[in-house]
Amino acid sequence: MPTEYAWFLPTGEYGDGHRINSKVAERPPTVDYLSQVARAAEGAGFVNLLVPTGTHCLDGWMMGAAIAERTDSIKFCVAFRPGLMSPVLTAQQAATFDIITGGRLTVNVVTGSTPVDQKRYGDHLDHDERYARTDEFLEIVRAIWAGNGPVDHKGPIYDIEGAVLYAAPVTKPYPPIYLGASSDAGRRAGAKHADVHMMWAGEAEEAARDAADMKRRAAEFGREDAIRLGLRVHIVCRETKAEARRAAEALIEGSDISNIRVWSDMRNHTESEGQRRMNELGGRDSLWITDTLWMGVNSVRAGAGAALVGTPDMIAAALGEYVDAGVGSFILSGWPHLEEVEIFGREVMPLLKDTEPATL
């Protein structure tokens, strides 16, 4: 099966630039700049773009729609938090986005962040309660997208009567669902609903265990062949290993996780099993987990904290190891996102032919 390579749109308050997590964005997240990144990703051979969510980001639906108008074929993986809106309204928004872009929508279901960020939205459910809500939320959304008549649902959280949309998504049977989680509750939800179960990258051996675990869990719902494992990881690619390592170290010089409060809350006061895994890797004696896998990003921000650092051959080989471990989708990023995606498309993408990159 073809391997999907997706890129990232830095819509957060930290923007983009040559340093991670700057107090003042070197390149603010304007529609003009992010459209440049999107077009460069499209030209580099990427097939999808992650548009993130959170109080530190611009709204993903609006930004995705604006940038889609300035691109030709690349898809948008719009992230959103289930439970902050009605599942029926979310199904309607997603269908509308898919219709106006001609079938260029995928969705990233982000069940939660830190309790601090959740409470900013007025959401006070605990970790496992949020995943129970996500399960029920996606049952409703998928039923509406299926278009088999009015949807009635009465559950612990949602009471829906006669829900139906006159306009169905262009993408059949529905826009692919990406669901990120490492906890047991999150994996259960992913096994039941996700087309791509996303995790933050660690060692390839760990990815192999995760892929096998998700296949086993999905089999309980008759979905073993329907689910794929996806990894979120950063890229620093240069002509030589020494240049790549210098570029990586420069990214975090002068930065501090306290520059962005939501990052500090998320990394240091987390309920996320994925964040705990990132923190464990980043807390080892060396930030270099392998010759290519570097955890320096974790020291200055939360979320995806692993980066592949090296020459084009080194990066392609590392990605190939993940594919061999069972990974079918990658969401990549690098600073600045415009220049790094151009480097990747020019230097690394041609070396990935053995992984059968998906095309649009």
Other Cβ atoms less than 10 A from the Cβ of 291: the count is: 12
pLDDT confidence of residue 227:
97
Output Rg (C-alpha) for the chain, integer angstroms: 19
Report phi then psi at 50, rounded to 5: -80, 125
Report whether 25 contacts 14 (CB < 8 A): yes
Report whether 135 contacts 193 (CB < 8 A): yes
pLDDT confidence of residue 114:
67
pLDDT confidence of residue 176:
98
Q: What is the pLDDT along the chain (360 residues), one digit of tens a residue?
A: 899 999 999 999 889 999 998 878 999 999 999 999 999 999 999 999 999 998 889 999 999 999 999 999 999 999 999 988 899 999 999 999 999 999 999 999 998 666 666 777 676 677 788 889 999 999 999 999 999 889 999 999 999 999 999 889 999 999 999 998 888 999 999 999 999 999 988 999 999 999 999 999 999 999 999 999 999 999 999 999 999 999 999 999 877 655 555 555 565 556 677 778 877 877 888 999 999 999 999 888 878 889 999 999 999 999 999 999 999 999 999 999 999 999 999 999 999 999 999 998
pLDDT confidence of residue 267:
52
Q: Please calculate the CA angle 8-229-109 and round it to the nearest 5 degrees.
A: 55
pLDDT confidence of residue 270:
60
What domains are defined for the chain? 4-234+310-355 (3.20.20.30)
Cα–Cα dist 151/153, whole Å: 6
pLDDT confidence of residue 24:
86
pLDDT confidence of residue 1:
84
Cα–Cα dist 141/318, whole Å: 36
The Cβ-side half-sphere exposure at 287, using a 13 Å CA radius, reads: 16
pLDDT confidence of residue 154:
96
